[in-house]
Amino acid sequence: MRVIATDQTKRLGRSLVCAGLALLPMVAAVAEEDPWEGFNRPIFRFNDTLDRYFMKPVAKGYQAIAPQFVEDGVHNVYRNIGDVGNLANNLLQAKFHDAGVDTSRLLLNTTVGVLGVVDVGTKMGLDRNDEDFGQTLGAWGVPSGHYVVLPFFGPSTIRDTGGLVGDAFTKPYPYMESTAARYGLFAGEVVDTRASLLAAEKVITGDRYIFIRDAYLQNREFKVKDGKVEDDF
């Protein structure tokens, strides 16, 4: 019996060693992407607490009060504003066909769609693009850099943090003279964005920090490479 137990122990030991060696590249990859985890986690907890006790209740209240057609109309307006950024970044990436789609959507939705309240473009088969300056930097060959959690803004990378600066110029806020209108429009966008994520957050399991980090990094790689990514497994 001692011999059998020893053989089983050896086999188990070899299996554990092999499994550990197989996981080393994954551990190394995570360590390379997120070497600032010790700094990121406290910021994540701050953002998560702010969201749990303020942003999430506000978003739920908004959904409870606003009829669905009003919520859809507001969401469409902010998407129409976002199409300006899509157009700018598609031009910067030399995606001229997509830029043409963005232009058509802007013209149709702003006029026929009454400032974007109705998404006429999508109804006509002009699917919305999703581009930002962080993706443009990636298309230009700028590496993503380390993962970082920004106060209030949430998950990002060094490249995407720089991209926020470029994105700011495609928003209407810097060009609005009225402070009340500027902050009111921005607050509306924040609430609309948070409300649109209420259903999606139900899929989060396990360590929220790790889940959100991995989902963010995979999503950004997918967008930067226009879906042309290789499965590591």
Q: What is the pTM of this model?
A: 0.82
Asked if the model's pLDDT at residue 12 lies above 90, the reply is: no
pLDDT digit string, tens, across residues 128-158? 999 999 999 999 999 999 999 999 999 999 9
What are the structural domain ranges in the chain?
A: 1-33, 36-224
Which DSSP state fits 195? Answer: H
Place of tokens 């003279």: 177
Q: Is the per-residue pLDDT at 16 higher than 60?
A: no
Question: What's the start-to-end Cα distance of the chain, in Å?
Answer: 39
State residue 228's pLDDT score. Answer: 80
pLDDT in tens, 38-87: 999 999 999 999 999 999 999 999 999 999 999 999 999 999 999 999 99
Q: How sure is the predictor about 13, in pLDDT bands with cuts at 50, 70 and 90?
A: very low
Report the alpha-carbon distance of residue 188 to residue 183 in Å, rounded.
8
The separation between CA 28 and the C-alpha centre of its own chain, rounded to angstroms, equals: 24
Nearest to 201 by CA among 39, 70, 193: 193
Alpha helices, H only, the chain: 2-33, 37-50, 56-65, 68-92, 96-111, 120-123, 133-139, 158-168, 179-196, 208-224
Mean of the pLDDT values across residues 18-37?
A: 55
- CA-nearest of 59, 53, 33, 58 to 149 is 33
